[in-house]
Amino acid sequence: MKTFSIDNGNLRAVFLSYGAILHELWVKDNKGQERNVIQGLPKAEDYLHDEWSRGAVIGRFAGRLENPILIEGERVSIEHQKGVLLHSGSKGWNKQEWKIEGTPETDRICFSYSCPKGTAGFPGTINAKVNYQIKGNALCISYYATTDAATHINVTNHAYFNLASEYPIDHHQLKINADKRLELKENLVPSGNKLEVNNTQFDFRISKEIKNIRMDDYFVINQTEQPAAILYSPESGIEMMTFTNQPGVVVFTPPHFDAICFETQKFSNTPNIPSFPSTLVRPEENYSHTTQFVFFLKNED
């Protein structure tokens, strides 16, 4: 496991080759002090036993899948626990050593990983890359993948954020640009239905305090030029906007530490729900996905 840093003077990020993990992200607060806004683990080796995928790249399929899955009309049995595969299971990309692609630059680093066919039961060898780059006040993440057989691909990053780490996230203000969320069954797998957020605790279309609301829910992003989500901490003055070209975001607040995760990705359980945007990638096609976390200091005066 190796450690790498990139820094453009505005933001400074630290990564691990294991899981292509975003280990730290340092942002200046309203007092001019650098803050690490990532809720990671103290030591690099701690991630080897982390059950919460902190900061890691999730693949080859992020989210929850019910076994079996459909691939071009054929039922394919996949690894599962009680009928559900979560974040690609025992050999997910969050548990793999990634290689450095090319030579890291001051403000950019690229990791690559080759996932063998048959991993977790999926067909196709996947060659994946994730590029992290700091541009101005933004951390930009770009994912690319190719396959040699038709298979489903859905990738995300699992970084947990707290914009004022010594405080709970209850006072963070959150806005989510989504009129709907996916209905979940008892096993937390999407049913295929979409529910209106109006008149529910999940209505964050107007910024409000998170308070005691805890989530593990998929929001269907309104396709506009607006950010998918905006997070703001009055304590630090830091505001973070999340932009993505994906159709939705899983917003997850873990039960035992103060943080929030924005997993930009395609819909969970898509291989089994024909009405969802497809996650199928064929050999002649390329998978690509971009997400940006953009930071500002909010002036409340």
What domains can you pick out in the chain, each with its CATH number? Answer: 3-297 (2.70.98.10)
Token pair listed for 85: 């595969």
Query: Does residue 90 surpass a pLDDT of 90?
Result: no
pLDDT of 300 reads: 60
293, 133 in Cβ contact below 8 A? no
pLDDT of 166 reads: 86
Residue in 255, 258, 251, 202 with CA at minimum distance from that of residue 229: 251
Token pair listed for 100: 């450095």
Pairing of strands 216-220, 151-152: unpaired
Angle at 143 between CA 138 and CA 144, to 5 degrees: 145
Contacts of 236 (CB under 8 A, 6+ apart): 29, 30, 35, 163, 164
143, 154 in Cβ contact below 8 A? no
Between residues 219 and 166, which one has the greater pLDDT?
A: 219
What is the tens place of the pLDDT at every residue in 105-141? 899 999 999 999 999 999 999 999 999 999 999 999 9
Which class for 90: exposed (0-12), middle (13-18), buried (19 or more C-beta within 10 A)? Answer: exposed
Question: Alpha carbon of 30 to those of 11, 19, 26: distances in Å?
Answer: 14, 32, 13
- Give the pTM: 0.95
Token pair listed for 29: 């607060």
How confident is the model over 278-290, as a mean pLDDT? 97
> Among residues of the chain, what percentage have pLDDT more than 90?
94
Three-state SS for 241? strand
